[in-house]
Amino acid sequence: MLRRLLLTALLLTTACGGGGSGGAGGTIEYWLWDSAQQPGYQKCADAFQQQNPGLRIHISQYGWDEYWSKLTASFIADTAPDVFTDQLAKFPQFVDLQVLRPLDDLGPTSDIKDSDYQEGLAALWKGKDGKRYGAPKDWDTIAIFYDAAALRAAGIDPATLDELTWNPRDGGTFEKTIARLTIDRNGVRGDEPGFDRTKVKTYGLAANGSGGDNWGQTQWSAFTGSAGWQATDQNPWGTRFNLDDPVVQDTLGWYFGLVSKGYMANFAAIGGNNAITADTQIQSGIAAMGLSGSWTISSFTRLTDASGKRLDIGVAPTPIGPTGKRASMFNGLADSITTFSRQPENAAKWVKFLSGEQCQNIIGRTGVVFPARPAGTELAIEYNRNERNLDVSAFTDHIRDGTTFPLPVTSNAADITALMRPALDALFLGEAPASSLTPLNQQLNALFEVAG
């Protein structure tokens, strides 16, 4: 009863939505949200079915928002899928609600090893009890996408982007670069006399919202990370927060200050809460470059201008921060089995296949994401190099150089998001100073004091 009440409360904080139907007999119900990944996973399903003639995989794909509301509704209605694509920001809440089966307790997935995947990835999917609740499927890091034509027009050599630096005092060469790329409606650039920050035609930097629902993953996490800041006292399963640290407050004060300077797209420019994504901002000329994740490579490489000509899109690494290093949040997806599955052992066979070498190599050859297994990652690198003529080392070098840090994994995830989103929105809108993060920090810590 308590679990049902908690699930109902969670549903009310997301949105209403219909449920699916759990697997029965020989059909395993599998849910995912990324339409770009669906074809690759259908190939995996076809291969799995050939090897397991008595089993069938039925894949359902929903958009991001609909996906999570339907999933929560399905838990309440006992109509959840057998297996679903899980995300680190959501996963802790599902562990708390006890709707995930420990993979260690199922025969096919009991021998999954951390060492089979990119270092540090598999361990993120373990609960406070030490049991594994997700089998890694892919990983992602952050880099800068840019319009090469915009750089040429500004007289900027793309090679200089590899060595950009930033600091919270004057923004370093990173801020100088985005100032140069910014153009007002009179054609004056952001680093030229007479620039009008209130009438900007093209911003140097795209905006992805405030980052209050994802710890600034594609917004400010590369800056706070390269400044040496950590969100919690430990990760995963931290219980004390560090938003009162001057490092993060100085960093976010500088970052959101780019909006008031006219160098970064503002709330209105990105369509408010119905945010225009960074790739669309670059395609439409709203922005010249933007931070985004490796899962958006396909979207950026498909961009065209008004005449239908493919845009010349490049990728550069995140800037070097005050620590002397660059940084990127390290995130990823996994496949989880619900406690509602009526055929958990069969579901575990599918999850084992999804996380295994054959399926991961299939996904690697599509070039949509970087699979969790190193061999699959190499295939994705090869695909981007040969099929897209794109160097993706800005993403993969973070793994090689050890400059990643994990997305914070904590209990009370939904409550944390509910508190952080309006507080970070206020910073983005210029309605609150960075010092407002101190009372926010107190609220976040209080969640765990009450729980304790």
CATH code for the domain in which residue 438 is found: 3.40.190.10
Q: Considering 362, 390, 418, which residue would you say is the last residue of a domain?
A: 390
Query: With 80 as the cut, is the pLDDT of residue 7 above it?
Result: no
Tell me how far CA of residue 366 lies from CA of 101, 166, 377, 386, in angstroms.
Answer: 30, 35, 11, 12
Q: Is the pTM of this model over 0.95?
A: no
Residue 133 structural domain: 2-138+333-390
Query: With 90 as the cut, is the pLDDT of residue 431 above it?
Result: yes
The listed range with the strongest mean pLDDT (7-21, 23-37, 352-366) is: 352-366
The values of phi and psi at residue 32, to 5°, are: -145, 165
**Do residues 283 and 362 share a domain?**
no
pLDDT value at residue 414: 86
Query: With 60 as the cut, is the pLDDT of residue 451 above it?
Result: no
Q: Is 405 contained in some domain?
A: no
In 110-245, alpha helices (H): 148-154, 172-181, 221-226
**Do residues 42 and 116 share a domain?**
yes
Mean per-residue pLDDT over the chain, rounded = 93
Determine contact, residues 234/405, Cβ cutoff 8 Å. Answer: no
If one counts the domains in the chain, the total is: 2
**Do residues 341 and 324 share a domain?**
no
Query: Please, what is the Cα angle at 353 between 351 and 356, to 5 degrees?
Result: 110
Amino acid letter for position 324: G
pLDDT value at residue 126: 94
**Do residues 311 and 279 share a domain?**
yes
Q: Is 403 contained in some domain?
A: no
